[in-house]
Chain A
Amino acid sequence: MSFVFSNENLQTIESLKKRYPKPQALALPLLWMAHYQEGYISLDAIDAIALASMLPPMEVYRVATFYTMFHLAPIGKYHLQVCKTLSCKLCGKEDILTSIQELLKIEVGQTTPDNLFTLSQVECLGSCGTSPVVQINDTYYENLTPQSIVEIIKGLK
């Protein structure tokens, strides 16, 4: 199935073009648009982005694979991103991870069979002062306890 940007996105693209010296600069903004439109970056989306930003498709692919936040395949509806870096480690991120794994019965990198939750570990989220932290899709959940993260996940179900 081929990918086309929604009409709303097409309008945004036109106004964005005026904000950059060259259309190539649109690579990241367009990847984000496709990401929100489809939930991941398909190869068809890469072609559409290449066309709009006047970049070769391979270059867009190179860019898409460099940045860790883009997924090249669909993932669960909720992406649980547990911060694993030092300040979170010192403040108990391991217990948060264990708590999630026990609740959802999945390992890091896996998705629940109902496709609701994908579990990842990520590097410092800039919440070291309010750690441990889990980012679920775009939302930050901070100052977590092994109990509170369970309540949060149950609330999403």
Chain B
Amino acid sequence: MIEDVKLISKKFAIENAHTLEVAQKHGAYTSIDKLFSLKPQEITQMVSDSGLRGKGGGGASAGEKWKLMPLGEDKPSFLVVNCDESEPGTFKDRAIITKDPHLLIEGIIATCYAIQAHHAYIYIRGEYKPFQDILQGAIDEAYEAGYLGENIFNKDYKLDITIHRGAGAYICGEKSALLESLEGKRGHPRLKPHQKECEWYFGNPTLVNNVETIASVPYILQNGSDAYRQYGTPQSPGTLLFALSGHVNRRGVYEAQFGIKMIDYINHYGGGIRGGKKLKAVIPGGASTTILTANEVMEARLDYESMRAMGSSLGTGGMIVMDEDTNMVEALKNLLEFYRHESCGQCTPCRDGSGWVDTIIGNLLKGKASMSDLEKTLAIANTMDGKTICVFAPALADVIRGFVTKFRSEFEAYIRKSKR
């Protein structure tokens, strides 16, 4: 049995919880009193102790990342909240900003205080305009209440939040591309430094975190790091807003602790496979994670370490579920079109490779491919590993290898048909 845990989604079912009045009736901004009684470093240590991991897909330790931010420098520091949410199968940040935007604002206040930033940007994907309007409404209310602006909560602290709207580019979710975009440029990922360091916005120290990561901070601040660690596993503490789409009976966003069995999650929250069909495969955490076969799904556990051990990754926790009737060649073709379209074009293996593989699999579907084309597909995938500016291409390589090796017979069946 799965025990319902709601650290982030507590107010999701409450009507009008996006308004300040209702949100406050249900406990919004109560962590702020404690916030200003602590030193910035103490907040960071608390987040670090909680084991909170970034929920944008990578799962990096949030606290350790905060520690990379210099305190007491002349240069201003910035927080940038990543609400680009364009990974296919992912729609959890949208739930937060529409159902409980004040939770995000509360988290932003705490995070900014911890890194001593006085301005936070929320970078939101352009398509999310209707949801941006709800979030902006909440921000406006927070300004009016004196929770944002000069002397917030009557304390000697100034904080502004500005929403920055993207305009249709998946790659702008990658943090350095996002910062380029926020600087008014094309969203081209930057070369990564050799050592761990913070990000830079116009040369100023900057922290980039996902919406859900920041929204997790108020709970930790209010209840302490040990309370957060009561949930999940030792390495993956706490909860995630996992999501279900595809062939399940009840699609949606449902919070759960890390470490539970994937199949239990799918059955408990998703109500099993639609139309009484059999499960065929699940893409576990957004399109860019390696696909799992039905047999693997039976074994899989929803935490970073277990998914790694299976040769996939937890990603954003957005599961795309496929039933027995799904054509895997067509499914891969669909994703290849996505990657071909979204490659930013800076690196040859990514720009050209994504196009080649899409063309080859397109030909295969049309009955115009041979066995050597399948090998070529895998060879092209191998050229994408470790040779590009960002991990878009290596992730695509994993997607291709996952489909072609785990469902090879379906690809071969097309080839055999084309020979006849």
Which positions in A face B, CB cutoff 8 Å?
19-22, 24-29, 31-32, 53, 55, 59, 62-63, 66-70, 84-87, 89-91, 122-131, 135, 138-140
- Of the listed stretches B159-167, B225-233, B302-310, name the one at the interface; the rest are far from the partner chain: B159-167
- Nearest CB of B to A51, in Å: 14
Cβ B251 vs Cβ A70 within 8 A: no
Complex Cα gap A139–B338 (Å): 22
Contact A28 B164 (CB under 8 A): yes
Contacts of A122 in B (CB 8 A): 127, 168
Residues of chain A within 8 A of B165, CB atoms compared: 28-29, 32
Interface residue tally on B, bucketed by range? 35 or more
Q: Do the beta carbons of A86 and B244 come within 8 Å of each other? A: no
Contact A128 B318, CB 8 Å, known A21-B201, A63-B184, A63-B186: yes
**Contact status B184-A126, CB under 8 Å:** no
CB distance from B291 to the nearest CB of A (A): 11
Nearest A residue to B123 by beta-carbon distance? A28
A27 to B338, CA, bound (A): 26
Contact B247 A69 (CB under 8 A): no
Residues of chain A within 8 A (CB-CB) of B337 are: 84
Min CB–CB distance A15 → chain B (angstroms): 11
Contacts of B287 in A (CB 8 A): 85-86, 124
Tell whether, in the assembled complex, residue A129 and residue B342 are in contact, meaning their CB atoms are under 8 Å apart. Answer: no
Task: Please tell me if the beta carbons of A69 and B88 are within 8 angstroms of each other in the complex.
Answer: no
- Complex Cα distance, B183 from A29, in Å, reads 11
Closest residue on chain B to residue A60 by CB atoms:
B184
Cβ-defined contact, A90 with B246, below 8 A: yes
Given known A19-B162, A22-B202, A28-B165, contact A129–B130 (CB-CB < 8 A)? no
In the assembled complex, the Cα of A85 lies from the Cα of B283 at a distance in Å of 13
Quick check: B88 and A85 within 8 Å, CB to CB? yes
- Are the CB atoms of A123 and B166 closer together than 8 Å? no
One of B94, B119, B334 near A126 (C-beta < 8 A): B94
Q: Which residue of chain A has its CB nearest to the CB of B86?
A: A124
Residues of A within 8 A of B342 (CB): 123
Which listed residue, A24, A66, A87, touches B245 by the CB 8 Å rule?
Answer: A87
* Cβ–Cβ contact A53 & B184, under 8 A: yes
CB B247 to nearest CB in A, in angstroms, measures: 6
The total number of A-B Cβ pairs within 8 Å is 143
Give chain A residues whose Cβ lies under 8 Å from the Cβ of B85: 126
The listed residue (B90, B125, B164, B334) touching A128 by CB distance below 8 A is B90
Q: How far is the CA of A84 from the CA of B331 in the complex (A)?
A: 11
Chain B interface, DSSP helix/strand/loop, else mixed: mixed
Kindly state the separation between the CA atoms of A26 and B67 in the bound complex, as whole angstroms.
Answer: 30
Binary CB contact string for chain B from 73 to 91 against chain A (1 if under 8 A, 0 otherwise)? 0001000000001111111
The answer, yes or no, to whether B414 is at the interface (CB within 8 Å) is no
Instruction: List B residues at the A interface (Cβ < 8 Å).
Output: 76, 85-91, 94, 119, 125-130, 160, 162, 164-170, 181-187, 201-202, 204, 243-247, 251-253, 283, 287, 318, 320, 322, 326, 330-331, 334-335, 337-338, 341-342
* A/B interface sample: 20 pairs, CB < 8 A: A22-B183, A25-B182, A25-B183, A28-B165, A29-B165, A53-B184, A63-B186, A66-B169, A67-B166, A67-B168, A68-B167, A69-B127, A70-B167, A87-B320, A123-B88, A126-B94, A128-B88, A129-B252, A131-B245, A138-B129
- C-alpha gap A75/B130 in the complex (Å): 21
- Shortest B120–chain A CB gap in Å is 11
Given A86-B331, A126-B91, A126-B128, the answer on whether A68 and B169 have CB atoms closer than 8 Å is yes
Bound Cα distance from A124 to B85, whole angstroms: 10
Tell me if B127 and A126 are in contact (CB < 8 A): yes
Write the chain A residue with the least CB distance to B251.
A129
Q: Which residue of A lies closest to B244 (CB)?
A: A129
What CA separation (Å) do A108 and B320 show in the bound complex? 26
Interfacial chain B residues near A21, Cβ < 8 Å: 76, 201-202, 204
- Judge whether A24 and B88 touch: CB under 8 Å: no
CB distance from A24 to the nearest CB of B (A): 4
Complex Cα spacing A125 to B245, Å: 13
Tell me which residues across on chain B come within 8 A of A131, comparing CB atoms: 245, 251
Chain B residue with the shortest CB-CB distance to A70: B167
A85: B residues at CB distance < 8 A? 88, 287, 334-335, 338
Assembled-state Cα–Cα distance A28/B165 (Å): 7
Which chain B residue shows the least CB distance to A55?
A: B184
Q: Which of A32, A90, A125 contacts B127 (CB 8 A)?
A: A125
Considering the chains assembled together, what is the distance between the CA atoms of A19 and B120 in angstroms?
Answer: 10
Q: Find A124's partner among B89, B169, B326 (CB 8 Å cutoff).
A: B89
Assembled-state Cα–Cα distance A104/B170 (Å): 29
| Contacting pair B86 A90 (CB below 8 A) | no
Closest to B342 in A: A123
Q: Which of A66, A90, A125, A128 contacts B186 (CB 8 A)?
A: A66
Contacts A28-B167, A29-B165, A87-B320 hold; do A130 and B88 have CB atoms under 8 A apart? no
Q: Give the residues in chain B near A19, CB-CB below 8 Å.
A: 119, 160, 162
Cα A29 to Cα B326 with chains together (Å): 42
B341 and A123 contacting across the interface, CB-CB below 8 Å: yes
CB distance from A145 to the nearest CB of B (A): 15
Contact A129 B245 (CB under 8 A): yes
Which residues from chain A contact B253 at a C-beta distance below 8 Å?
129
Most buried by B among A19, A25, A84, A124: A124
